[in-house]
Every structure is written in structure tokens, then in C-alpha cells.
Amino acid sequence: MENNKVLDAFNKASTDYDKYRKQAIPHMDIYYNTVIKLTENYENPKILDLGAGTGILTQLLYKQHPQSNITLLDLSTDMLKVAKTKFNNKKFKYITADYLEYDFTENYDIIVSSLSIHHLTDEEKKTLYAKIYETLNPQGIFINADQVRGSTEHTEKIYKNQDETHLSKQNIPEEEKQTLRNRRKLDKPATLHDTIKWYEEIGYKNVDIYYKYYRYFVIAGEK
């Protein structure tokens, strides 16, 4: 099962995952901070981080909303184990689960996700986006920092070249570069056009793109 490959890849990556993120993701600070800025007008929001991994985005959310209840959900126990070492906070909840299968029993003001949902097929993405909509409180927001596929074969080729050009220039061990290349084989990003269309069909309001650099983008929609 493809899911098992994703789980296996992130369980294996967990220990050294944080070490090379800044090199692996172009302009990572502005990319992640775009998500945080979109949450600024919420006061003590209840937050859910889907595919939270080692909690890199969660940490920025916590800094912005230190009084908030934050739930981290991830398929990989090992990734969450690393996250737990960062937060000594009783208000945090950790859920090891597949977000497609998990039955959410609570609602949230802000649901975020970073670099996770592109591991799903397009049908699964649509199902998850609808599930997230149902899990949001009224006026809640879903902010997703993820990757898209090029809108044509030609532009996808440009994205792929950019991925490789960026990675090859980074000062990180060759073995790590290979691990990242192998993990990319598990990616199934959708086009930006389809993603926006699905959000609007589901009923999200004020759907917009707040950041885009080659395949990296931040999209948000409100309930």
C-alpha cells in the first residue's frame, strides 16, 4: 500500500528530519510564515495541524498563539515523537492516525497542513478537503502550504528541473539528497487549477493563493 511507503519513509526520516529542511525547501521562512500571518487575526484559536510531522510549522503557530490548544495529527509515530520533545505543553494533543480515516470528534478554528497532502491521490485530496471543511468551526480557516503539479507537461518539467537544480546546489550530504529524491517519488501533487476548483465546489469562501514559488504554494479558504 502506498500509504505504508509514506509511513515507512517518514518513520525512517524522523531523527534527522529537521536538520536539512531549510536547505531542502526554497525560501522556507517566508513560505511557512505566510501560513502564520494568515492566522494573526484569530484570538486563542483552537488549532489542528494535519501531517504535523516533527512540528516545524506547529512551533511557529505556538509562538503566534501561545494560549491555544493545538492538536498534532500524523501517520508516523516516530515523527510525532520528535515533535513531543519540542513542546512541554499540556494543552497539546497528539494523534497518530491517517487523516483520511480518522473520525474527528472536535471542531477547530484553524486547520493547517504543510507539505503533507500531496502524498494523496486527487480523489483522496478532494475527500480530505471536504472532511476538513466539516471539521472547521464557522468562520474557521484551512491553510495549506503544499506542492502543486505543473499545469501542463511542459511546466511540470520546469518544476522538476527547479527541484533538482535547487537540491543539487545545497550543502548537504549526498546521501541525504538521494533520500529526498527517493521521497519525491511518493509525491502526487495536483494542479493549482484543480485544487482551487475543488475548494470552491466544497464551499470554501475567499479561496486564494498567498504564496507561490514554482511548485510550492500556500492556499487558504474559509468556512
Ligand X SMILES: C[S@@+](CC[C@H](N)C(=O)[O-])C[C@H]1O[C@@H](n2cnc3c(N)ncnc32)[C@H](O)[C@@H]1O
- Using CB under 6 A as the binding rule, whether residue 98 contacts ligand X is answered as yes
Q: Is 167 left (phi over 0), alpha (psi -120 to 50) or beta?
A: alpha
Q: What are phi and psi of 71, to 5 degrees?
A: -110, 130
Burial class (CB in 10 A: 0-12, 13-18, 19+), 169: exposed
Q: Can you tell me which of 28, 36, 100, 180 binds ligand X, judged by CB under 6 A?
A: 100
Minimum CB–partner distance for residue 92 and ligand X (Å)? 15
What string marks each residue from 10 to 49 as x (binds ligand X by CB under 6 A) or -? x---------------------------------------
Contact between 196 and ligand X (CB under 6 A)?
A: no
Asked whether position 57 contacts ligand X by CB under 6 A, the answer is: yes
**Shortest distance (Å) from residue 30 CB to ligand X:** 14
Q: Which long-range contacts (CB under 8 A, 24 or more apart) does 97-101 make?
A: 97/73, 98/3, 99/50, 99/51, 99/73, 99/75, 99/128, 99/131, 100/124, 100/127, 100/128, 100/131
> Which one of 47, 60, 70, 75 is in contact with ligand X (CB under 6 A)?
75
Chain residues binding ligand X by CB under 6 A are: 6, 10, 51-53, 56-57, 74-76, 79, 98-100, 114-116, 119
